[in-house]
Amino acid sequence: MDVKQYMQQLGQQARKAGREISKADSGRKNLALLKIAAAISADSAELSLQNRKDLQAGKENGLDAASLDRLELTPARIEAMVEGLKQVAALADPVGEITNLCYRPSGIQVGQMRVPLGVIGIIYESRPNVTIDAAALCLKAGNACILRGGSESIHSNQAIAACISKGLAEAGLPQTAVQVVETTDRAAVGELITLKEYVDVIVPRGGKGLIERISAEATIPVIKHLDGICHVYIDGKADIDKAVAIALNAKTHRYGVCNAMETLLIAEHIAGKVLPILAEKYAEKGVELRGCLKTCSLVKNAVRATEADWHTEYLAPILSIKIVADIDEAIAHINQYSSAHTEAIVTEDYTLARRFLREVDSSSVMVNASTRFADGFEYGLGAEIGISTDKLHARGPVGLQGLTSLKYIVLGDGHIRQ
Amino acid sequence: MDVKQYMQQLGQQARKAGREISKADSGRKNLALLKIAAAISADSAELSLQNRKDLQAGKENGLDAASLDRLELTPARIEAMVEGLKQVAALADPVGEITNLCYRPSGIQVGQMRVPLGVIGIIYESRPNVTIDAAALCLKAGNACILRGGSESIHSNQAIAACISKGLAEAGLPQTAVQVVETTDRAAVGELITLKEYVDVIVPRGGKGLIERISAEATIPVIKHLDGICHVYIDGKADIDKAVAIALNAKTHRYGVCNAMETLLIAEHIAGKVLPILAEKYAEKGVELRGCLKTCSLVKNAVRATEADWHTEYLAPILSIKIVADIDEAIAHINQYSSAHTEAIVTEDYTLARRFLREVDSSSVMVNASTRFADGFEYGLGAEIGISTDKLHARGPVGLQGLTSLKYIVLGDGHIRQ
């Protein structure tokens, strides 16, 4: 069978399974999640075995250390998958929830019911645990899904897929509700993102290159974020201790993540106090500083930032720093350079905090908290299937809510329009 | 100035005005709406004069009677625009509403804030009152908008635009928050739907041809519906009187609207009772009936429906009728042929009503009510900017909520990620 035919078949099966799963009651969906968790626990030796094949192949193909690390399924990571499944099972079922059901002057009742989107296509890179996170969220939200992991994790993903199939079958749900693409042929991605008849939304997870390509070529709506150029603004009325803790955590807690701070903005008024302390701490961590002229005059070890720096997501121990006059300049800078992912203000000023929250147009806007909190687990979504910096549909970490939509329901008693 | 340059300029101005209007408080936005209403009332003679120019030109260009009717601004329609503005002013301001603000185990508070989308581009055909509906909803939701009406209503739209500008200025809001495209050059549409940098969403309103073209060519997300192939299913346990009233209203209240019923499904069990009564009433109204074999055996004046009929939005006094075994066959038919706009069941059966509401995947799903209720005014949205049959973002009639999105907000007290 050729790839086009194969993907068409997955699509047809997913559409059919989606109809089934959309009707499944919460108990059965939760049972499936727990049965999958049990299968993962029971088959952990097999998972490790298959994962070692991927690791071996990855080494032979010259994967870098970071990629090999992401690829590895350690016992702790297998246990985390099991825990993740249990957490999603414990979440409230979003499907069928009816809100705002009100009587209208005509006598009809109008409300909104939360319903599954249908079929979700997810395309991701090396981390095999995404297979479980994505399957669990799609299942709980009543969607079928087609998962396309990276070719470097094919054995791990197929072993996980076997556990998912087993769990679905044991719960009496169609095994085609979660399908993991079996071929590593790259053409499968091209097919998946154009299966308009069978797939309702595509969620790409991975590097910017992958996501840009998918966004450009997909004929199906895509939920995505491209960049995480996140800002922290230390206002003139910031508490110095909080400012230092947040600016340090936002940059150095992890470097290669989308919610790490890439640019630090500091009010001129407080820069002399806070910047030398921060510069020393960044130096201890080996963070390279690239600053505006004023920054460089305050910090010896900073080099001059270029225009390109303000546009750059470093994903590395590098930080750009700009000293601004006030919140107006800070917000103007953010509006111009931010990728609309996550921005934070550090301030004790009530009025400025309120303004920042309202006026900064990003998927997450924070006061006195580290940008690193922009995450589905931290927000209480149970897990996240991705982060959206688009404005339509879902913004920020995408959990169960983003995998559903609201339809209108109308209840009458023979009502007709006058 | 060429069209490309002109539209770029409108886009830049809209983006700037959007930032202003997103910050405007509710009182000022409501004041603008009421000032626009006052300007419309005061200038009604001028509006009628300009409208007569369009009507005259329309007649000379051979517009059909229906189009001329849509184009006409009668005193009652001018008064309806004024009323519409007052109604939107009276709606609660959606912007800045914070929901689900909860403490998380880490100590941060996480919630969602409703915020404007930014700049909305609206493309519509002959009815000039859309100019007011669209401007009012966009303004209230904190968005700037660029409105492109039909060339046949250019004088009317420019006169309305003058009233909008006056009202905005009197309320101290930027006049560029609502811009009505001044050129009738068709190239302006092509420019508008690809102004990615300045426009966040496009809402096309009009015939299927217009909407298909815009959807295919836009590089900006589009909120739309293409077809309204709406179904009513009369179940075996339907109350006959309600069934007759609803099936008649859904088809004959107005023919040329997207929420009119196009296909009637009837349970075999009740068809012999209900269909002869309905057929007689449809005959009185001059509705042509196209039925399945069983329908034709029960109704003398029905002709045989072809496969194409089940796919057709007649927008005319024509109805296709199919007799089905039960709700399963009804839902299967709907899933196959519906445009996912609006479907209704007529039944007194609690269990089947519940199933229909859950399993029918359309933007509006109704029990014992006419499909004609699928409308922003009837749903209490104040007005509607269009109807969406897409699944992402907004479904069904799109009012203020569909013109906004939810961003996450996080409140901390110096919290950092562990």
User: How wide is the angle at C-alpha B61 spanned by C-alphas B58 and B65, nearest 5°?
Assistant: 55
Chain A partners of B397 at a C-beta cutoff of 8 Å?
A: 408
B73-83 burial string, b = 16+ CB within 10 Å, else e?
beeebbeebbe
Asked if residue A51 lies in contact with residue A156, where contact means CB atoms within 8 angstroms, the answer is yes
Distance CA B9, CA A2 (A): 49
CA B104/CA B85 separation, integer angstroms: 41
Does CATH place domain B230-378 in 3.40.50.1370?
no
What pLDDT score was predicted for residue A217? 93
What pLDDT is stored for residue B125 in this prediction?
86
Q: What is the pLDDT of residues A231-282, one digit of tens each?
A: 999 999 999 999 999 999 999 999 989 999 999 999 999 999 999 999 999 9
Sheet of B144-148: strand order equals B178-180, B144-148, B119-124, B201-205
Q: Among candidates B401, B388, B405, which has minimal Cα distance to B224?
A: B388
Q: What is the share, in percent, of chain B residues with pLDDT greater than 90?
A: 92
Question: How many residues appear in chain A?
Answer: 418
Q: How far is B395 from chain A (nearest CA, A)?
A: 6
Exposed (0-12), middle (13-18) or buried (19+): which is B385, by Cβ within 10 Å? buried
- The one-letter code for the residue type at A14 is A
Chain B interface test: which of A407, A411, A413 (most B C-beta within 10 Å): A407
Distance from CA of B342 to the nearest CA of A (A): 9
Joined together, the tokens standing for residue A227 give 């960049």
SS3 A99: strand
Q: Tell me the pLDDT tens digit for each residue of B187-234.
A: 999 999 999 999 999 999 988 888 999 999 999 999 998 889 999 999
Q: How far apart are the first and last CA of chain B?
A: 57
| Domain assignments of chain A as residue spans, ordered by start | 3-224+394-411, 230-378
Alpha helices (H) in A106-217, listed in sequence order = 129-140, 154-170, 187-192, 208-217
Sheet holding A288-291, edge to edge: A302-304, A288-291, A318-324, A261-267, A230-234, A342-346, A364-369, B404-415, B109-116, B98-103
pLDDT band at B66 (very low <50, low <70, confident <90, very high): confident
Confidence of residue A401 (pLDDT cuts 50, 70, 90): very high
Contact A411 B23 (CB under 8 A): no
Task: Tell me which residue of A47, A183, A193 sits closest to A128, measured CA to CA.
Answer: A47
Nearest-neighbour CA in chain B from A166: distance (Å):
26
pLDDT band at A146 (very low <50, low <70, confident <90, very high): very high
User: Residue A363's pLDDT is what?
Assistant: 97
> B3-224+394-411: which CATH topology?
Aldehyde Dehydrogenase; Chain A, domain 1 (3.40.605)
Mutate to test the interface with B, among A255, A391, A393, A395 (most CBs of B within 10 A): A391
At B158, is the pLDDT very low, low, confident or very high (cuts 50, 70, 90)?
very high
Residue of A nearest to B238 (CA): A414
With helix as H, strand as E and coil as C, how does A200-239 read? Answer: CEEEEECCHHHHHHHHHHCCCCECCCCCCCEEEEECCCCC
Spacing of C-alpha A353 from chain mean position: 26
Query: For residues A343 and A331, is the Cβ–Cβ distance under 8 A?
Result: no
Q: Cβ separation of B409 and A366 shorter than 8 Å?
A: yes
pLDDT at B225: 84
The predicted pLDDT at position A62 comes to: 94
pLDDT for A91: 95
Mean residue pLDDT of chain B comes to 95
B130-138: average pLDDT? 95
Going from the C-alpha of A13 to that of each of A184, A185, A197, B62, the distances in angstroms are 20, 20, 12, 51
Q: What is the pLDDT of residue A226?
A: 83
Q: What are phi and psi of B178, to 5 degrees?
A: -125, 115
- Phi-psi sector, B237: left (phi>0), alpha (psi -120 to 50), beta: alpha
